[in-house]
Structure 1
Amino acid sequence: MLSYDLNREWLISKFEEIQYRILKAIEQLDDDQLNWRPDDLSHSISNLIKHIEGNTNEKIKNGILGGTVARNRDDEFKHTYISKTELIKMVTTSFPLVIDTVRTMPEQTFEQRQLVRNKEVTNLDVLLQCTAHFSEHTGQILYIAKMCLKNQYISTSF
């Protein structure tokens, strides 16, 4: 069996970085800015965070941990007003779940498979895809924050 220590360390580091940057962006914005959309075809930061939470429920809670959380992906993109407090709670619940799962899961769990969009993939593949997916949405979140705050935006890079 392969050793997954390097993957585990990298995944934890990446998920921690994504959580940190999203929270730093949220802290700079008010409720209206967090729910603002550039246009009717675009998503708000609240939609993107709700979508990340839905993805976490599907891929981690259900896929890796064997839960039965219902997911309605279409609802994640409906324009709904979510408070800053609730968004922070969503982020500080979802990411620690992912990080703790990666930190504590046995090596053989990385090799176990789950069905994603009618394709069987390993849990390692799922976790790596989640880092890419969440990073893409983090970029969108940061861009929207910059649009709202303009020159008052404070970089989330470290």
Structure 2
Amino acid sequence: MNIGNEFLISVIKRLSYYKELGDKTFVQLNDADCHFRPNESSNSIAIIIQHMSGNMLSRWTDFLTSDGEKEWRNRDSEFEITHYTKPQLLDLWEKGWDCCLTSIKNLSENDLLKTIYIRSEPLVVIDAINRQLAHLPYHTGQIIYIAKIITDTKWQNLSIPRGKSEQFNLNMKNNKQ
């Protein structure tokens, strides 16, 4: 077994899962929903998408050869209220994820112990990947939580519905046989 390649396959699988959760969430929202803020100190889904996209584009563009905090990135502007339409926000979402996932797919086992930099801080590639495995699901969870607040009883569950765990586990067990 090649542990480095297995790690990269696992990373792509996990990140793709969280992207898919976001994709399934956006289907349930309209333009106005994307700009809803639960309160003044909270971010909207639009702001979270702007930040995630900016982060992914900065971190994964020329990943092995340039600092992950690009000079062209304006992180503070990612948290400004915009009037992007839902299609524009989804375009930002896709561009960020495409950059991230494509870069990871292009890595080899030999790259995993190389040193890269983020804000001039040296990191082993594995650590930089693990940072994204924490950062991106964190924000995807925020998006889902805000969407659940907005949609309330119309929310379409993305996981195992309440009270259905036993049935889900039984189905999983039966599908393995």
Q: Same fold per TM (> 0.5)? A: yes
Give the corresponding residue for 1:139: 141
Match status 1:70 vs 2:103: no
Code of the residue aligned with 1:97 in structure 2: it is C
Conserved in 2, the CA contact under 8 Å of 1:4 and 1:107? yes
**Per the alignment, in what secondary structure is the counterpart of residue 154 of structure 1?**
coil
Contact 2:63 2:103 in 1 (8 A): no
State which of 78, 81, 103 in structure 2 corresponds to 1:79. 81
Question: Match of 2:4?
Answer: 4
1:74-113 to 2 correspondences below 5 Å? 74-113=76-115
Which range is displaced more, 105-114 or 31-40? 105-114
Match of 1:63, SS?
coil
Show structure 2 runs of 5+ residues with no match: 161-177
Higher relative contact order (CA 8 A, sep 6+): 1
The alignment's C-alpha RMSD in Å is 2.0
Distance 2:82 2:30 in 1: 15
Contact 1:62 1:69 in 2 (8 A): no
DSSP 3-state at the match of 2:117: strand
Distance, in Å, in 1 between the alignment partners of 2:3 and 2:17 is 23
Report which of the two structures shows the higher radius of gyration computed on alpha carbons: 2
Per the alignment, in what secondary structure is the counterpart of residue 61 of structure 2? helix
Partner residue, 1:27: 27
Task: Specify the SS of the correspondent of 2:60.
Answer: helix
Shift of 1:91: 2.0
How many angstroms does 1:118 deviate by?
4.0
Amino acid at match of 2:148: K
TM-score relative to the length of structure 1 = 0.89
Q: State the match for 2:132 in structure 1.
A: 130
Aligned equivalent of 2:118:
116
Name the amino acid aligned to 1:39.
N
The secondary structure found in structure 2 opposite 1:79 is coil
- Cα offset, 1:46, TM superposition: 0.7
2:170 match: none
Query: Structure 1 69/96 Cα, relative in aligned 2: closer, same or farther at 3 Å?
Result: farther
Q: Percentage identity across aligned positions?
A: 24
Structure 1 pair 47–62 and aligned structure 2 pair: CA distance change class (3 A): farther
TM-aligned CA deviation for residue 107 of structure 1: 2.2
TM-score, normalised to structure 2, is 0.80
Structure 1 stretches of at least 4 aligned residues deviating more than 6 Å after TM superposition: none
Q: Secondary structure at the match of 1:111?
A: coil
Query: Which residue in the other structure is 2:163 paired with?
Result: none
